[in-house]
Amino acid sequence: MWARQRGSFIAFNVITLAAALAVLLTHLGDAAANAGSAAFWVMVVLAVLAGTQAFAAEIGPERIRVTIAPTVCFSFAILLTWGLWPAAATQAVACGVIAWRLRRTLFEAAVAAARYTLALGAASAILWLGEPDPFRDNTGSSLATDALSVVAAGLAWLAVYGVLFLGTRLGEGLPWRRALVVVRDQVLFNSALLVLSPVLALAARINVAFLPLAIIPLIAVQRLAQLSSQRENIARQDPLTGLANRTGLRAVYDRLVVGPPTRLGAAEPARPSLIILDLDRFKQVNDALGHDIGDQLLVAVAGRLPRVDPRVGVTARLGGDEFAILARADDPQALAQEVARGLNQPVYLEGLRVDVTASVGVATDEGEGFNALLRHADVAMYEAKQRGDTIATYDVRSDRASPAQLRLLADFRRALEVDDVDRLRAHYQPQVSLSTGRIEAVEALLRWNHPQMGPVNPEDIVSLAEHTPVMVMLTRRMIDRVTAQVAAWNAAGVSLRASLNVSTRDLYSEELIDHLAERIAHHDIPPGQLQIELTESAILADVRRAQAPLRRIADLGVTICLDDFGTGYSSLQHLRRLPISEIKIDKSFIAGMAHNRDDAAIVRSTIELARSLHIRTVAEGVEDDITHKLLAKARCDLAQGWHTARAMPGDQLPAWLAEHDDDGRAA
């Protein structure tokens, strides 16, 4: 398809050139008719000088490059006064000057001159039909007829030039709608120039000395065009660093996505990738050294970022200490590593050494639009910051705000609101005593069966809900389920302690503690049959703040377990200040103790320290007999894992227990 379009584009330009040449050949008689006219040569010089003031502007949100040059008013004035050939020749010379100034090719200059020639030819034909020389001293025609001829000629010029310019832009691969916007702006600009042409023609007839005065309005028109272009550039540029801003980044993305079609048989260009980096500890620099130093640091960082070819991307500052690089890159990860390497060296600002590090997120466009790409790169960047890595690539599984994840969270919220007991349930995994073999406790685990997706991984849904109000709703439902189940077991003669997990958000909620107390009283169960599990990081992140709610829970008679113990690198010193009854040794240590001496040593020492503080120990993730025996030898209290049993619905647990010996020992 591209090959056909490219061929049509070349053919269109060749036809334009041939048609312009044909028009010129039919008007050779005008070539030297006014060679001796001083006014004519003054007009030519002014046209050439106007060509030297040409500039390339980027218009529209797609930043489409167009040429702005006020030469048209002179060539059209020459047409009105001296005919087509002198006008076309003058415009052709001006096109050559413009091409030289803007570093365009000779072919581009020739095609531009051909467009102008055909537009002038159309205007000449209208003048020939109406009034060939509207500015001569003549009583044979009225002023109205003269004015009408000039206006009609100008409209013909605009129509032909607009059509030819549109054909050129379409041939370059620009979509119809955007090409029409560019043509509209060009027609408006040239209309303003054509209005000046009759004034120049009259000045040439009356007194050649008046012609230079036309420079004043032309400078005004040119200046307005430049100011408009500069305003658009400023709107797309960060004033501090000179890089593109968010608006400029969006414009380049739109241009890359709607770029020219790919040549048939050629490899598809790489999809645009976005790299976002956020400086680490930038706020500390601002607070400690002042905003002036902070600004200098931002400028220094901007200077170290790789500059990408404007044809395939852009480097931008999004605001604050956040930068971005958008590019068609075959290996965006390599580009991200180049960014990270560029920031490795310290920056010296006013004699102070400032070490610069950044968290970098990488995302590749998947056709979902600019906002989605920006969000994906942002998610990846925060993932890198959270993990302590330098670079992270976007992974939908870690995106808690993706549309799919948000829909899943909304479905989960609805299940909680209607209390869907058929699909939203608690399963219970037994905990066996390593000294007696009895099942002493269970841990309540969430199970949700989505209507369309089926069983959902509990870790996925908890991670989604954890920082939202949905987490509070989930904890309330789990309290309801567990307290009701414990009461049902008691009625059936099964007495077990049941643990349920609570998040940090729940720990500091007075309402949830009140709800726990109310459910215990409602079902008339001993508080000691309930245990709250909190992760080590949740409690030890702020021990002082955690003391009050933990003490209130303990005052209810509910025991407290420290889950995932060992992952937060905490000290058992903290446990002396907190009402902790049990610690659960993280499965990452348990799984390795059978073949890793270090893990085994950590587990044994943890058990001994806990025993010295009269704290119960639970080993989670026990999946084989060797580990089970090693834990028993180390005098661990309880074991939980597939070696004993998988989690099961509460109503199935009594039957499972019945399969054990009469004394309740595990079979």
- What would the pLDDT profile of 383-424 be if each residue is shown by its tens digit? 888 777 788 888 776 666 667 777 888 888 888 888 888 888
Chain segment 303-350, per-residue pLDDT in tens: 888 877 777 788 898 888 889 999 887 788 888 888 888 888 888 877
Q: Which of 50-54, 110-114, 158-162, 568-572 has the lowest mean pLDDT?
A: 568-572
Q: Which of 157-171, 258-272, 396-410, 488-502 has the lowest mean pLDDT?
A: 258-272
Who wins on pLDDT, 197 or 269? 197
What's the pLDDT score for residue 35?
52
* Sequence spans of domains, the chain: 2-226, 246-398, 404-658
- Read off the pLDDT band of 662 (50, 70, 90): very low
- Read off the pLDDT band of 11 (50, 70, 90): low
Dmax (CA) of the chain? 130
Rounded Cα–Cα distance for residues 485 and 480 (Å): 9
Architecture of domain 246-398: 2-Layer Sandwich (3.30)
Who wins on pLDDT, 129 or 272? 272
Lookup: tokens for 293 = 């130093």
Q: Is the pLDDT of residue 265 over 60?
A: no
What's the pLDDT score for residue 591?
87
Q: Which of 174-178, 347-351, 463-467 has the lowest mean pLDDT?
A: 174-178
Rounded Cα–Cα distance for residues 454 and 436 (Å): 39
In sequence order, which residues have a C-beta less than 8 Å from that of residue 10 and are 6 or more positions away? none
Residue 309, sorted as left (phi over 0), alpha (psi -120 to 50) or beta, turns out to be: beta
The single-letter code of the amino acid at 458 is P
Architecture of domain 2-226: Orthogonal Bundle (1.10)
Q: Which of 137-146, 282-291, 507-516, 585-594 has the lowest mean pLDDT?
A: 137-146
Q: Residue 533: beta bridge partners?
A: 501, 561
Q: Residue 465 in contact with residue 410, Cβ under 8 Å?
A: no
C-alpha distances (whole Å) from 531 to each of 540, 567, 636 are 19, 21, 19
Q: What backbone torsions phi and psi does residue 65 show, to the nearest 5 degrees?
A: -80, 130
The pLDDT > 70 percentage for the chain reads 79
Q: Which is nearest to 437 in space by CA: 648, 664, 615, 659?
A: 664
Chain segment 210-248, per-residue pLDDT in tens: 777 666 666 666 666 666 655 666 667 788 888 888 888
Average of per-residue pLDDT across 251-272: 63
Q: What backbone torsions phi and psi does residue 403 show, to the nearest 5 degrees?
A: -55, -40
Architecture of domain 404-658: Alpha-Beta Barrel (3.20)
